[in-house]
Structure 1
Amino acid sequence: MTILLAPMEGLLDFTLRDVLTRVGGIDRCVSEFIRVTGTLLPNRTFIRIVPELLNGGRTPSGVPVRAQLMGSDIACLAENAAKLAELGPAGIDLNFGCPAKVVNRHGGGAALLDDPELIHKIVSAVRAAVPQPMPVSAKMRLGFLCTSRTLDCAQAIESAGADELVVHARTKADGYKPPAYWDRIAEIRASLKIPVIANGEIWTAEDAARCREQSGCHPLMLGRGMVVNPGLALSILQPGAGVLAWDELLPLIRHFWGLIDIHIEPRHRAGRLKQWLNYLRRLYPEAEAVYADVRTVNDPALVRARVHQSFDARELIAA
């Protein structure tokens, strides 16, 4: 069974990709979207969002990363895909699922699900622009406001030459509200010949089993569930593996802080740590205590000092 780590703008960037793939169980990642809006982007933009391009298209632990593009300009997407392919990602992915209003207002992400003909043209152009050995994949939702064109969009993606399709089992209108409609993915899978990967609302190994049963998909993509429980992929692959102990998680938090302390602008560092702790506290009472201690602090130096107070300095963040 293949398990992918989802792209999540503003959350699952290269820092968390690095941390979560160190745990194990993830076979491949997809980057957050690189927005294409009418210009040929410089290499530095691709590398800023996907720094794994400097490491053979892999995370430091060796997990391949596909770079995701998002936009609606056919020619510009193809041109950027060709340039991006020269940098050696593990593949090119296309975003037809982002529900953000600012993205949808400009005709990107999930808004394209109302226009399967345009989706076909985009995928076809990108596939033609990218060297054949390099995979081209796509991610879509079940629709924009409804599911009336779900199969049209999925079939448009396949017929345009995509090698693989990830389906987030909700519409844009559903947002991230449970449930995810895994059974609708079964209809898509039955209509396509390319691999279909199920995504959405997989928080536990039990959720994964139900998703696989209802969707018929063995490959899965994990998002927020992995952020809350970094051992989720392993627990799916190894029934009974359980949750990572807090002591096992501490080195990962230390490594995460080290990455954001180097690569993230100072004004955003505290927020990034609090963001992950906010997710972790859903499962770890220890994270709740740390989050409460740093919640109102924004200065990176003060955050570091507060964390030192909450844990032994040797176990978490080095000064």
Structure 2
Amino acid sequence: MQIALAPMEGLVDDILRDVLTQVGGIDWCVTEFIRVSDRALQPPAFLKLAPELARGAQTRAGVPLRVQLLGSDPTLLGESAAAACELGAPVIDLNFGCPAKTVNRSRGGAVLLNEPELLHSIVASVRRHTPAHIPVTAKMRLGYASSHGALECAQALESGGAAQLVVHARTKLDGYKPPAHWEWVARVQEVVKVPVYANGEIWTVDDWRRCREVCGVADVMLGRGLVSRPDLALQIRAFEAGEVLPPMSWQALLPLLQSFWRQAMHKLSPRYAPGRIKQWVAMLTRGYPEATALFDQLRRETDCQRIAALLGLEEQQPTNGLESREAISI
């Protein structure tokens, strides 16, 4: 069984990848999507969102990192993939699942599921431009407005050269509304020969167990569930081995929050760092009452020193930040 950490734009950046993979149980992770629009990308574009490429394409815990590209021009995507491979990307992943309106309006993400022939052309071009030993993989939803074309899209990706598919078991219009239609993952696996990963609405071990019963595939990609419960992958592995692992306590989780804040203060400007910690703490409220209390204290706090104190840290001096990309607001 393989367990992957999902590539969630604006959430799972290199800081959160570092922290979550330290917990354990994750086999590989993926960058936030790297957009390819009007020109092939150069090395700085990759290193900004995937600084792990300068460290052997691994997180500090040794978990391999894949590079994910998003766009609609087969040639530019192929050339960009070649550049990422030169930087050491071990796998090139292609995004055909992002539901964001701004992304879809610019012909990226899930909207491309309306054009199976283009899906094939994109994967085939990336496959031609990259070394044979570097796999090309793809992440897809079930479709844009409906799942009627899901099987055709999966077959188009496979025939283009995709060595693996991750299926988020909802359409673009479904967004993130439950339920996830895991039965469609089984249908996709029936029509392709490459491995298929199930993704979507796996928040607990019970969710994972039911997902596996419904879709029959062994491999999963965890997104919001793992961000909300950082030990979810370890919990799943323990269950698979017939063991019971006590859930991670708040006391064990707090050092991860502290590590996250230290890195956010180093990388981000004081204007944006508070939003990032609030974002993660808000998601942790799903499983930790202590996170609810902490979020209530953080909600309107913008002073970095006071945030450090709330996290139990001694005085932290903010840097100017290496990046000013605004995080998702809470």
TM-score range, shorter chain: over 0.9
Distance 1:28 1:62 in 2: 9
What secondary structure is seen at the aligned counterpart in 1 of 2:264? helix
Residue 308 of structure 2 is matched in structure 1 by 304
Indicate which of 242, 245, 248 corresponds to 1:244: 248
**Deviation at residue 40 of structure 1 after TM alignment:** 2.1
What is the Cα-based RMSD across aligned positions, in Å? 1.2
What secondary structure is seen at the aligned counterpart in 2 of 1:266? coil
Aligned counterparts, 1:66-81, within 5 A = 66-81=66-81
Counterpart amino acid of residue 57 in structure 1: A
* Count of aligned pairs: 313
**Deviation at residue 242 of structure 1 after TM alignment:** 3.1
Residue 185 of structure 1 is matched in structure 2 by 185
**Deviation at residue 90 of structure 1 after TM alignment:** 2.3
For residues 115-147 of structure 1, give each alpha carbon's deviation from its aligned partner in whole angstroms, at most 9, with x where no partner exists.
000000000000111101111100000000011
Seq. identity, %: 52
TM-score, normalised relative to structure 1: 0.96
Distance 1:153 1:24 in 2: 33
Distance 2:117 2:219 in 1: 27
Residue 282 of structure 1 is matched in structure 2 by 286
Q: Where does structure 1 differ by over 3 angstroms across 4 or more consecutive aligned residues?
A: none
Q: Is the 8 A contact 1:199 1:220 kept in 2?
A: yes
Q: Is the 8 A contact 1:104 1:110 kept in 2?
A: yes
**Deviation at residue 318 of structure 1 after TM alignment:** 5.6
**Deviation at residue 301 of structure 1 after TM alignment:** 2.6
For residues 209-258 of structure 1, give each alpha carbon's deviation from its aligned partner in whole angstroms, at most 9, with x where no partner exists.
11111111100000000111000000000022132011111111111111
Distance 2:173 2:40 in 1: 32
**Residue 214 (str. 1) matches residue 214 (str. 2):** yes
Residue 55 of structure 1 is matched in structure 2 by 55
**Deviation at residue 294 of structure 1 after TM alignment:** 1.3
TM-score, normalised relative to structure 2: 0.93
**Residue 156 (str. 1) matches residue 162 (str. 2):** no
Unmatched 5+ stretches in structure 1: none
Distance 1:47 1:24 in 2: 24
What secondary structure is seen at the aligned counterpart in 1 of 2:152? helix
What secondary structure is seen at the aligned counterpart in 2 of 1:32? coil
**Residue 272 (str. 1) matches residue 257 (str. 2):** no
Counterpart amino acid of residue 94 in structure 1: L
Q: Is the 8 A contact 2:197 2:218 kept in 1?
A: yes
Unmatched 5+ stretches in structure 2: 318-330
Residue 25 of structure 2 is matched in structure 1 by 25
**Deviation at residue 304 of structure 1 after TM alignment:** 2.2
Larger displacement relative to structure 2 (172-181 or 211-220): 211-220
Residue 322 of structure 2 is matched in structure 1 by none
What secondary structure is seen at the aligned counterpart in 2 of 1:296? coil
Counterpart amino acid of residue 76 in structure 1: L
Distance 2:221 2:308 in 1: 33
Counterpart amino acid of residue 163 in structure 1: A
Distance 1:296 1:28 in 2: 35
**Deviation at residue 42 of structure 1 after TM alignment:** 2.2
What secondary structure is seen at the aligned counterpart in 1 of 2:147? coil
For residues 87-135 of structure 1, give each alpha carbon's deviation from its aligned partner in whole angstroms, at most 9, with x where no partner exists.
1122000000000000101111000000000000000000111101111
Aligned counterparts, 1:113-132, within 5 A = 113-132=113-132
Distance 2:304 2:73 in 1: 40
**Residue 294 (str. 1) matches residue 298 (str. 2):** yes
Q: Is the 8 A contact 1:267 1:299 kept in 2?
A: no
